[in-house]
Amino acid sequence: MLIARRGLLFAGATAVMTRPAWAQALSHGAFTHGVASGDPLTDGVILWTRFVGGDGRIAWEVSEDESFARIAARGEAQATPVSDFCVKVDTRGLQPGRQYFYRFLAGSGPSLVGRTRTAPSGADSLSVGLASCANYAFGHFHAYGHMAARDDIELVLHTGDYIYEYGADEYPSTELAVAGRAFDPDHEIVTLDDYYRRYQQYHTDPNLLALRAAKPIAATWDDHEIANDATSTGAQNHQRNEGLYADRVAAASKAYFDWMPIRRPDETRARLYRSLDWGDVARIVLLDTRYIGRVRQLDYRRGLGLRLLSDGAGTEAAVAEFRTQLLDPARTLLGGEQEAWVAETFAASKQRGQTWQVVAQQIAMGEQIIGAGAAAMVSPEAHSNVRRYVTVAERLGRMHMPWNLDAWDGYPAARDRFLQTCTAHATNAVILGGDSHNTWINNLAAPNDASRMAAIEFAGASVTSPGLEQAMAAGAPGAREAMMRSANPHLAWCDVTNRGYGALKFTRSACEAEWVAFANVRDAEAPAPTITRMSATPSAQGGPGPWTI
């Protein structure tokens, strides 16, 4: 288990701090799940806590120093059961580009002390941590603890699957679940109370609590905050006997916005996309590729059926017809409104002179073809369904068809439009993502000009959730990675083995990135991570240069 050094310092500090005399009239109760901050602006930041007790009246303070001798802002707030007793404060009037300490106060005593920062009005660099896909039952959140302990990460970007909706013996199965980390509640979460209980459980994890206290967070959701393979109209893991899908989305999105230290761009609907500026270095563009504009995924099993199990002219003809459906330009991920917003947001950033447009979104953008030899990496002990799955993916790969239609691969026309937008309106676009549970470092060429880079991609692997290595467990060290690189020439590097997080530093002259990998998340004690470093350079107008590993 990793707990941030600073987080321990904060916890110890509150033990000796006393509340101001004026705070003694506030409610008596408990701060139950730590503190957090997020979505920093030049003059403010969101502060978060959860307080249970009395009439819920508490106070908050932001200080220039850890002893709270130089108070920069303070006020009162109210915890109520309507928001699961979560409190969010949009603090303003702060100075740009500086570190602050913050805490909440009650009549019974102060909360833990958190550390945050405001966005700069001018900056030489931006350093972010990148995380996604934290399945509580699959393992320990070593990535969160390691990020929390780093002094160089200024902002954490979470690209989704912050929680998982499954019940016991689903994902993971009982035999793969880590002892002591069973889901609560033990059934699939569907109602608002269910989602609240799952967030409450997640925020007992010491590494997650340490990260939220140590760094501001800007987050976007993926499918598991709602249900597996969620779209605008339904989800694979939502059935008719679970009620209306719209009711489930309303419950899931309310719990998400209550528990996450982020701004809600539109109180009237489940809109999540927004942007944050970091001086003249970068604009951070947070997208929703999951819900608001996504049409239903195509499914090879529905479209091709038994033809997936054989080669031949009939199969090739069926695949050609399926490809026509796949290429339909009406198949959107973002929706027309969000696509237009992206173009405007990129153009405004370029006009401002910002070097980088950092896109935090959910899914892998670079094409992923399963290469030759994948089926040979399936363990002899694997279930027949696993062998069939990998064999079919390899067969599809021979016809240059992608394996994962839930990713951008399932929406190629939408991907082309997005990359054309990068080419036309961005200066140097960097695509960050998650979802697939493995790490993909891609060079993304402009759709109509392969000689020009539209964007570079860092799609980070998961905090705990297993990836393709689970299906191809018999592959020798490096074999899975070599297979994927051989089939995907735009793939500069990949890790199809480990869990971890990304760390990226953006300056006017470079993007320097690290993939911080943990070989084992099942043990409470974190192993020493392995670190792979890569970099790319920006240009004035022609897009970023390719990754150098």
pLDDT tier at 18, thresholds 50, 70, 90: low
Residues 6+ apart with CB under 8 A from 62: 47, 71, 72, 73, 74, 91, 94, 100, 101, 102
What mean pLDDT is predicted for residues 360-364? 98
DSSP-based three-state secondary structure for 532 = strand
| Domain boundary, last residue among 103, 120, 137 | 120
Is residue 497 assigned to a domain? Answer: no
Q: What is the pLDDT of residues 301-333, one digit of tens each?
A: 999 987 887 777 888 899 999 999 999 999 999
Q: Do residues 441 and 457 make contact, with C-beta atoms less than 8 angstroms apart? A: yes
Residues 6+ apart with CB under 8 A from 202: 134, 136, 162, 163, 208
| Domain boundary, last residue among 104, 120, 136 | 120
What mean pLDDT is predicted for residues 372-397? 96
The pLDDT, as a whole number, for residue 7 is 38
DSSP 8-state assignment for residue 137? G
Is residue 247 assigned to a domain? Answer: no
DSSP-based three-state secondary structure for 36 = strand
Q: Do residues 371 and 486 make contact, with C-beta atoms less than 8 angstroms apart? A: yes
Strands (E) located in 261-366: 274-278, 282-286, 356-360
Is residue 409 assigned to a domain? Answer: yes
Is residue 233 assigned to a domain? Answer: no
Is residue 454 assigned to a domain? Answer: yes
Q: How is residue 402 written in tokens?
A: 């992608």
Judged against a pLDDT cut of 60, whether residue 2 lies above it is answered with: no
pLDDT tier at 11, thresholds 50, 70, 90: very low
Is residue 517 assigned to a domain? Answer: no
Is residue 451 assigned to a domain? Answer: yes
Count of structural domains, the chain: 2
Provide the percentage of residues in the chain whose pLDDT is more than 90.
Answer: 91
433 beta partners:
459
- From 127, 180, 17, 69, select the one nearest 512 (Cα to Cα): 127
Q: Do residues 159 and 361 make contact, with C-beta atoms less than 8 angstroms apart? A: yes
The pLDDT, as a whole number, for residue 52 is 98
Burial tier of 312 (Cβ tally within 10 Å: 0-12, 13-18, 19+): exposed
Domain range for 352: 300-492
β pairing state of 449-459 and 439-446: antiparallel
The pLDDT, as a whole number, for residue 141 is 98
Judged against a pLDDT cut of 70, whether residue 480 lies above it is answered with: yes
Judged against a pLDDT cut of 50, whether residue 121 lies above it is answered with: yes
Q: How is residue 349 written in tokens?
A: 């950033």
pLDDT tier at 14, thresholds 50, 70, 90: very low
Is residue 309 assigned to a domain? Answer: yes
What mean pLDDT is predicted for residues 389-406? 96
Judged against a pLDDT cut of 50, whether residue 6 lies above it is answered with: no
The pLDDT, as a whole number, for residue 190 is 98
Q: How far is CA 384 from CA 11, 387, 391, 406, in A?
A: 50, 5, 10, 23
The pLDDT, as a whole number, for residue 1 is 36
Q: Do residues 135 and 465 make contact, with C-beta atoms less than 8 angstroms apart? A: yes
> Within 10 A of 219 (CB to CB), how many other CB atoms are there?
22
The DSSP H or E segment spanning 33 is: strand 30-38
List the strands of the sheet with 282-286, edge to edge.
274-278, 282-286, 356-360, 429-433, 449-459, 439-446, 491-495
Q: What is the pLDDT of residues 199-237, one digit of tens each?
A: 999 999 999 999 999 999 999 999 999 999 999 999 999
Q: What is the pTM of this model?
A: 0.96
pLDDT tier at 17, thresholds 50, 70, 90: low
| Domain boundary, last residue among 492, 521, 538 | 492
Q: What is the pLDDT of residues 20-52, one digit of tens each?
A: 888 899 999 999 999 999 999 999 999 999 999
The pLDDT, as a whole number, for residue 5 is 35
What mean pLDDT is predicted for residues 166-174? 98
Report the amino acid identity of residue 415. Answer: R
DSSP 8-state assignment for residue 120? P
The pLDDT, as a whole number, for residue 22 is 84
359 beta partners:
285, 431
What CATH number has the domain bearing residue 1? 2.60.40.380
pLDDT tier at 420, thresholds 50, 70, 90: very high
What mean pLDDT is predicted for residues 160-170? 98
